[in-house]
């Protein structure tokens, strides 16, 4: 794959929209540059600043939910079992 901005070898993908999710291949230089100077690339970036945080919080919630469902099917690997609470010692 080639970088969409300079045609060097692409090393990562960068979001241009989150809803719907679309990415473009970019080299490491442009991947960093987009984060440092987003206004320079405003013609490529078609999302609001808050979209990124919302997208990744949703991805995290979906991932945790899928892990929960997987653990329901495999109870031996259930990470969500309640841990035993240690008794607190009272000092007088």
Q: What is the pTM of this model?
A: 0.54
What local confidence, expressed as pLDDT, does residue 38 receive? 83
Helix intervals (H) in the chain: 28-36, 49-73
In a domain, 2, yes or no: no
Quote the pLDDT of residue 86.
55
In a domain, 52, yes or no: yes
In angstroms, the CA 61 to CA 14 distance is 21
Give burial (CB, 10 Å; 0-12/13-18/19+) of 86.
exposed
In a domain, 81, yes or no: no
Boundaries of domain holding 50: 12-76
Please give the chain's pLDDT, 92 residues, in tens.
Answer: 899 999 899 999 988 888 888 899 999 999 999 888 888 888 878 887 788 788 878 888 888 888 888 888 776 655 555 555 555 555 65
**Based on the structure, what is the number of domains in the chain?**
1
């Amino acid at each position: 794959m080639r970088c969409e901005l300079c045609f060097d070898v692409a090393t990562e993908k960068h979001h241009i929209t989150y809803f719907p999710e679309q990415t473009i291949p970019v080299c490491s230089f442009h991947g960093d540059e987009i984060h440092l100077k987003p206004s320079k690339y405003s013609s490529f970036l078609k999302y609001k600043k808050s979209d990124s945080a919302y997208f990744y919080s949703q991805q995290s919630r979906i991932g945790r939910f899928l892990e929960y469902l997987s653990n329901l099917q495999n109870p031996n690997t259930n990470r969500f079992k309640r841990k035993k609470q240690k008794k607190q010692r009272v000092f007088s």
